[in-house]
Structure 1
Amino acid sequence: MRHIAIVGSGPAGYYTAEAALKQWGDDVRVDVYDSLPVPFGLIRSGVAPDHQSIKAVSRRYEATALTGNVRFLGNVTIGRDVTIPELEALYDAVVLATGAPHDRKLGLPGEELRNVFGSAAFVGWYNGHPGFARLDPHLAHHTAVVIGNGNVALDVARILAKSQDEFAGSDIVAHALDALQEARIERIVILGRRGPHQIAMTPKELGELGHLSRACPIVEAADLPDESEDAALDPGQRKSVAHLRAFAARPPEDCAAKAIRVEFDFFASPVAITGAERVDAVQVERTKLVDGRAVGTGETYEIPAGLVIACIGYQTSPIPDVPFDEKAGRFANAEGRIRPGLYCVGWSRRGPTGTIGTNRPDGFSIIEKVAEDIGAGTGKRGGEGFDEIAQARDLKVVRYRDWKRIEEAEIANARAGSPREKFVLVQEMIAAAQG
């Protein structure tokens, strides 16, 4: 029997568990650990609450979780409740699938001011992540600045701009919905260091921005390259740039009746955030492209703003006793191998790149390496040994059946039109898990 521990119950974790089942069938036991009492990681707390079709992938993970030789062990923090060396002593292989839950720093003066957030924190706030439920952003200023030109920046801008009716069917948490409906934001500026041809925004997300009831996306035609240059782009990029061209071609009267302007500010690099205790402006330098790189021109200007959200990427959390690459913001590894018996997968292996589906081949690839390394298994005790540790340390471990009780309570608590009302405090989750 092979015994595999997977740390992290998000897409990378459950795809890896699925791969282990396909590799060994009944000859494997897989324990999936998570620091939260609830599974699915990024699907629950990272995917935009109005993108329920994307969240539906969790049904696939549930099919894996409900097999007899896979266990979910929630509310267990690896490195605190149980150590990596302890897991290595119990399991033939330990696979870290912890994702990249922390924001990359901007590295700018003033980024520690109040009301300056990273996207992990801000998205976690409106998605009900227990670590960010008490964030309490101040939304009374007329201008918000969103830094970044990827889909997360679009998600943040769209959530800030939506009307209450447009949240129907979403699982945005009540505290965020209430705060957003009281917001006074009239202008959202999306800053990008480079130009329209360099965006990492996909057509679907850009298209959504053009159909909001009270917001109008604005692109300066002068920022767009000659249309003939679009031919060099891949099909997805061409569709995205086509959306930007359509935004630029809108007559001004289309936006006159809209309460919120969503402005794309290309060739714009933030250089400082200013304010006394809370942010009141962003200092920006105009850029130009030189061999594909954004280079400052020395021309600067100021955007008065009371809210700043940086959507510039994420990094993995270090774990005691695991080598960490500080520069790359992920575990130090060679194609997923950290040391004999210890592996990493997904964002904790390669950094925050790719889509949710990218983690599936990654999970299967790492299990192939594990199979090559451990052969028929090493005779370790696996989950039985962890159960003894949990009992001795009085750990309040949440199993998958307990998570289903939490889920049932969230569904029962849902407001009209919403699939669920998430618990945002761990103690509330534990109470619901206990029935």
Structure 2
Amino acid sequence: MIARSPLRVAVVGAGPAGIYAGGILTELVPGVRVDVIERLPTPYGLVRYGVSPDHPKIKKIIDSLHIMLDHPGVRLLGNVDVGTDVTVEELRAHYDAVILATGATRDVPFDVPGADLPGSFGAADFVSWYDSHPDVPRQWPLRARSVAVIGAGNVALDVTRMLIRHPRSLTHTDISDNVEAAFAKNTIEDIHVFARRGPVDVRFSPGELRELGELEDVDVIVDPADVVRDQHVERMTRQFAPRRLVMASFERWAQIPADERTAARRVHFHFYRAPAQVLGTDRVEGLRTQCTVPDGYGHVNPSDIYEDHPVQAVYRAVGYASSPVPGVPFDPVHRTVPHTRGAVLDSGEQVPGLYVTGWIKRGPVGLIGATKSDARETIETLLGDVQQRPAVSGRRARSVDALLAERGVQVVDWRGWTRIDAAERELGAARGRERTKIVDRDLMTRFGAGTTTTLVPAPLEAVEP
């Protein structure tokens, strides 16, 4: 499908969803001009700030995203906060179309008594911290010896793996100095992972689960009673290879004799345990769980049996949620923008020139492949619509630059990002690694603007006094 050109489109969000949308536009529309507007001084979204630093292979997706952003028809406008520096309404007035791809970066609310106690953390906040996000606190308290992780997906595994790793195994990663210093003082001994259903129903990737069992000086402990097979387990392991591999890992760990578990750190998996209350007065002192009973068909029912687990911290990995974009309709229940095939709806009526893609469109589900197909659906809707509307003039589209300049916004463009990238690589080379992230936003912005070329590494201070 080809639209008339020149077509000018603003994409809000420089994560995979936004970059793929821009890339598809450059494929389908000769001469299209795409401005990718990003709140941070750096692109790549959750690939940069949501993938664990000990998984560098996954971050290789940045290579393909780099190519799309480096396209001559695409501009990066980083360090621009839509809703503060410029409004969606102003963007709609200056572009033929605006695509929102702002993702999901917050934790889903956790409605359990005591969830707000000090020592109870959302996984999204923790991931942002250890991924050196510039907008989160530099410090993180890693004083707990026993920790509970609530969740049965890969984020729960990421949190568990990063907490339980010995710090020497992180020296080759791209973590910033403050994160490295914090993990060096980590006092963790035991992590208890709680899942409401059984071992065959978790959403762990087989490879990531297996990796947990391969960590140096870490034992994985599973209660044999939790891996007893019923008709549901047999059915799922016959039909789905990933479930079969996951179940095999749990069964293998359940068979390890207690006297062979000699590691200094341990991960305990607890199945059929639903969180009921975070215990404590002034801070977290434990987690109370309610035992659940499987019905043989993949569902569980609550029992009247409760268990208390003494822990000093709780990490809630129960899902990500999108945030509203000022001036844009938002469904607070599903935490997405209402739409039809990517076209934004307001009270059931289409908002002219406004579209959505990625997790803010469909919720935080699916991998990179789903992001591509999702972006293509939105672009096809957009191109069908713009053929029915007059184009916004090129002069008006270019005036967004003047608007941001008048407001004193220090825009970090593509060349600015390459300067930040080079500085991080230089900082990493000094430590014998590929990259060390710069966590200070002001320093990143000054590198991006070309107003500094001096690297002043942050002191290795990281945990609360």
> Do these two structures clear the TM 0.5 threshold for a shared fold by scoring above it?
yes
Q: Counterpart in 2 of 1:392?
A: 406
Q: Does residue 4 in structure 1 map to residue 9 in structure 2?
A: yes
Gaps of 5+ in 1: none
SS at match of 2:340: coil
Q: Secondary structure at the match of 2:156?
A: helix
Separation in 2 of the partners of 1:354 and 1:160? 25
Q: Deviations over 1:104-135 (max 9, x none)?
A: 0111111111121111100001000112243x
Q: Please report how far the alpha carbon of residue 166 of structure 1 lies from its aligned counterpart in structure 2 after TM superposition.
A: 1.8
What is the aligned-residue RMSD (CA, Å)?
Answer: 1.6
CA offset at residue 376 of structure 1? 7.8
* Partners of 2:99 and 2:354 within 8 A in 1: yes
C-alpha distance in 2, partners of 1:394/1:280? Answer: 48
Q: Partners of 1:25 and 1:74 in 2: how far apart? A: 24
The match for 1:404 among 418, 421, 438 is: 418
2:441 is aligned, of 426, 429, 435, to: 426
The code of the aligned residue for 2:148 comes to V
Matched, 1:78 2:82: yes
Is 1:122–1:132's contact at 8 Å kept on the other side of the alignment?
Answer: no
Among 76, 101, 105, the alignment partner of 2:109 is 105
Structure 2 unmatched runs, 5+: 1-5, 345-350, 453-465
Is 2:385 aligned against 1:373?
Answer: yes
Structure 2 equivalent of residue 244 of structure 1: 250
Report the number of matched residues. Answer: 432
Indicate the residue corresponding to 1:345 in structure 2: 357
Tell me the residue number matched to 1:182: 185
Q: Deviations over 1:327-367 (max 9, x none)?
A: 10111222321122111111010000011232111111111
Aligned to 2:209: 206
Superimposed CA distance per residue, residues 345-403 of structure 1 (whole angstroms, 9 cap, x where no aligned partner): 11010000011232111111111111111028632136402112112211111101001
Q: How many Å apart are 1:230 and its aligned residue?
A: 4.6
Secondary structure of the residue aligned to 2:293 is: strand
Distance in 2, Cα, partners of 1:369 & 1:319: 21
* Distance (Å, rounded) in 1 between the aligned partners of 2:156 and 2:254: 19
- Inter-partner Cα distance in structure 1 for 2:18 and 2:119: 33
Tell me, in whole angstroms, the C-alpha distance in 1 between the residues paired with 2:167 and 2:405: 46
Contact 1:2–1:376 (Cα < 8 Å) also in 2: no
Stretch of structure 1 that moved more, 422-431 or 344-353? 422-431
| Identical pairs, percent | 36
Q: 1-side partners of 2:142 and 2:167: how far apart?
A: 15
- What's the CA shift for 1:242? 1.4
**2:264 partner letter:** A
1:64 paired with 2:76, answer no
Q: Which runs of 4+ in 1 moved over 3 A?
A: 227-233, 290-294
DSSP-derived class of the 1:36 partner: coil
Return the match for 1:146 from 140, 149, 156: 149
Alpha-carbon distance, 1:177 to partner: 2.0
Task: Select between 199-208 and 234-243 the one with higher mean Cα deviation.
Answer: 234-243
Q: Distance in 1 between matches of 2:58 and 2:389?
A: 36
Range 273-282 or range 413-422, more displaced: 413-422
Question: How do 1:28-47 residues align onto structure 2 when only pairs under 5 Å count?
Answer: 28-47=32-51
Alignment check: 8 A CA contact 1:115 1:137 kept: no
Counterpart of 1:221 in structure 2 is: 224
- Residues in 1 aligned to 2:136 and 2:298: alpha-carbon distance in whole angstroms: 36
1:17 aligns with 22
TM-score, structure 2 as length reference: 0.90
Conservation of the 8 A alpha-carbon contact between 1:50 and 1:172? no
Cα distance in structure 2, aligned partners of 1:147 and 1:106? 10
1:115 touches 1:307 (CA, 8 Å); kept in 2? yes
- After superposition, the Cα gap between the structure-2 partners of 1:83 and 1:75, relative to the gap in structure 1 and judged at 3 Å, is same
Q: Aligned with 2:219: secondary structure?
A: strand
Residue 409 of structure 1 aligns to a residue whose secondary structure is helix
Q: Which of these residues, 159, 170, 174, is aligned with residue 171 of structure 1?
A: 174
SS at the partner of 1:4?
Answer: strand
Q: Name 2:3's counterpart in structure 1.
A: none
**Distance of 1:363 and 1:77 partners within structure 2:** 22
Distance 1:387 1:230 in 2: 55
Contact 1:100 1:347 in 2 (8 A): yes
Contact 1:130 1:425 in 2 (8 A): yes
1:358 partnered with 2:370: yes
Of the candidates 264, 269, 275, which is equivalent to residue 269 of structure 2?
Answer: 264
Task: Note the C-alpha offset of 1:246.
Answer: 1.5
User: Displacement, 1:93?
Assistant: 1.1
Residue aligning to 2:126: 122
Separation in structure 1 between the aligned mates of residue 107 and residue 309 of structure 2, nearest angstrom: 23
